[in-house]
Amino acid sequence: MPESQSRPMTRRAAIAASAAAGAGAVALATGEEAHAANGDPLILGASNSSSAVTAVENSGNTTGLRVSCSSTGTSAVALVGKGINAYGLLASSSQFNGGRIYAEVPGRHGLLAENVSTTSGSGTALWARHRSTGTGSEGATAVRGIQGDGADPLLSSIRATLWPAAGEFAGPNGVIGASAQGGTGVIGHSETGTGVLASTNTPGVDALYSAGNATIAGDLAVQGMVSKFGGSFRIDHPLDPQNQYLSHSFVESPDMMNVYNGVIEADDTGAATVELPDWFEALNRDFRYQLTPIGAAAPDLHVSGKVDGGRFSIAGAQPGQEVSWQITGIRRDPWAEQNRVPVEHAKPETDRGTYLYPQGFGQPAELSLATRQSARPGAS
């Protein structure tokens, strides 16, 4: 018999201890010091120690062990698990969820994870891992966060068509990443794949929206239309590369125009034939020509033969004279034919009353389209 049970006990405590010992669960302690021996019940109201497992087994459709705390103090805790060189708490299941933690009042956390170490780079507040390597709809996720109706089915549909992730989140905003220390709000990185993938199935809705400047330190491939206020290249100034930049504006046109030019030398008769790439006529239509004689006037200089068979002809130059030529064409490839740039078009209903650049019309900045987009529900 354990030492704690050999001491005098009240009748009520003795009955409870005897019943608990038979079930192998919990015993009541007297007011004296008590310790549970290996394999014996836990002693309530006393400090228990053991080098063996004390198990509580429940075969019914109910709770196996309930621990509650009714105190309203900020330091009160219902259950504490602390490990020394071991896990503080381990929850697992062979056929169901490993554990469930929830809060019943607004403004409280279902799970509060905190690493109290003050050493920089020491540990993680919350660490989740899934050992499955499956992909597609059969793949596994380490962390899933959902908010609101439809969030869980949405994640399942994305998983089925794309792939699972270590973390999956869906709600009015899927993920909010912020930094108050001058760092990066969201970091996306991949060794062999895509660092960040943004997508949407709703026409007219941005898959990716930046409410501020964006820098791309690498190539940018756009499989669609580019709309902008203006544009330029910017390079290190060739005459002062350490201290200055040099910029040139793009050439704009209401058409999808391509520009080609060059210099050719006329023959002894003042004629010349300009050879064009073999794909020139497949890509372009509606040609326009510009000819400029170099070194001397050539009042009779003209295009003597339009584009045909990948070339056009000029005549009327001085014998052996150089001629600067330019030809433009309008794109006629399938994508261009189906996606012409509308020169004038009405704003969508959602954009009415806003400006792309309100300051240019003497209007306040809050009337900008960017401000409205940032304020829309679900906007990032």
- pLDDT recorded at residue 1: 43
- 327 and 282 in a single domain? The answer is yes
Query: Is pLDDT larger for residue 91 or for residue 2?
Result: 91
Within a domain: 38? yes
Within a domain: 299? yes
- H/E run at residue 322: strand 322-331
- pLDDT recorded at residue 308: 96
Query: Is pLDDT larger for residue 79 or for residue 10?
Result: 79
Q: Which of 226-230, 295-299, 326-330 has the lowest mean pLDDT?
A: 226-230
Judge whether residue 321 has pLDDT over 90: yes
CATH of the domain at 291: 2.60.40
Question: How would DSSP label each residue in 221-281?
Answer: --SS----S--EEEEE-TTSTTT-EEEEEPP--SS-EEEEEEEEE--TTS-EEEE--TTHH
- pLDDT recorded at residue 124: 83
Judge whether residue 108 has pLDDT over 80: yes
- 331 and 357 in a single domain? The answer is no
Judge whether residue 186 has pLDDT over 80: yes
* Mean pLDDT, residues 309-326: 98
- 323 and 371 in a single domain? The answer is no
Within a domain: 280? yes
> How far is residue 328's CA from residue 323's CA, in Å, rounded to a whole number?
17
- pLDDT recorded at residue 19: 45
Within a domain: 112? no
Show the domain range for 330: 257-338
Q: Which of 47-51, 215-219, 270-274 has the lowest mean pLDDT?
A: 47-51
Going by pLDDT thresholds of 50, 70 and 90, the confidence category of residue 20 is: very low
Q: Among residues 380, 262, 247, which one has the least CA distance to residue 322?
A: 262
- For the chain, the C-alpha Rg in angstroms (whole number) is 38
Within a domain: 37? yes
CB atoms within 10 A of CB 237: 13
Specify the pairing of strand 167-170 against strand 284-293.
unpaired
Q: Burial-class residue 165 by CB neighbours within 10 Å (0-12, 13-18, 19+).
A: middle
Within a domain: 305? yes
Going by pLDDT thresholds of 50, 70 and 90, the confidence category of residue 138 is: low
- 277 and 324 in a single domain? The answer is yes
- pLDDT recorded at residue 66: 84
* Mean pLDDT, residues 68-95: 84
Within a domain: 173? no
Q: Which of 98-102, 297-301, 317-321 has the lowest mean pLDDT?
A: 98-102
Going by pLDDT thresholds of 50, 70 and 90, the confidence category of residue 111 is: confident
- 270 and 330 in a single domain? The answer is yes
Query: Is pLDDT larger for residue 67 or for residue 260?
Result: 260
- pLDDT recorded at residue 290: 98
Going by pLDDT thresholds of 50, 70 and 90, the confidence category of residue 257 is: very high
Query: Is pLDDT larger for residue 138 or for residue 280?
Result: 280
- 369 and 325 in a single domain? The answer is no
Q: Burial-class residue 281 by CB neighbours within 10 Å (0-12, 13-18, 19+).
A: middle
- 330 and 267 in a single domain? The answer is yes
pLDDT tens digits for range 30-55 = 554 445 555 566 676 677 777 777 77
Judge whether residue 375 has pLDDT over 80: no
- 300 and 365 in a single domain? The answer is no
- pLDDT recorded at residue 317: 98
* Mean pLDDT, residues 182-191: 88
- 294 and 366 in a single domain? The answer is no
Going by pLDDT thresholds of 50, 70 and 90, the confidence category of residue 10 is: very low
Query: Is pLDDT larger for residue 178 or for residue 201?
Result: 178
* Mean pLDDT, residues 164-172: 81
Q: Among residues 201, 204, 170, 184, which one has the least CA distance to residue 373?
A: 204
Going by pLDDT thresholds of 50, 70 and 90, the confidence category of residue 26 is: low
* Mean pLDDT, residues 309-336: 97
pLDDT tens digits for range 226-255 = 888 889 989 999 999 999 999 999 888 999
Q: Among residues 325, 283, 287, which one has the least CA distance to residue 306?
A: 287
Judge whether residue 144 has pLDDT over 90: no
Q: How many H-runs (helices) and E-runs (strands) does the chain carry?
A: 6, 12
Within a domain: 175? no
Tell me how many domains the chain contains.
3
Rounded to the nearest 10 degrees, how much is the dihedral formed by the CA atoms of 162, 165, 169, 170? 10
- 332 and 353 in a single domain? The answer is no
Q: Burial-class residue 370 by CB neighbours within 10 Å (0-12, 13-18, 19+).
A: middle
Judge whether residue 142 has pLDDT over 70: yes
> How far is residue 137's CA from residue 159's CA, in Å, rounded to a whole number?
5
Q: What is the pTM (predicted TM-score) of this model?
A: 0.62
Going by pLDDT thresholds of 50, 70 and 90, the confidence category of residue 283 is: very high
Specify the pairing of strand 42-44 against strand 26-28.
parallel
- Take residue 300 and report the two structure tokens written for it: 């009779």
Average pLDDT, the chain: 82
- pLDDT recorded at residue 38: 57
Residue 138, strand partner residues: none
- Helix or strand or coil: residue 131? coil
- H/E run at residue 336: helix 334-338
* Mean pLDDT, residues 169-196: 87
- pLDDT recorded at residue 327: 98
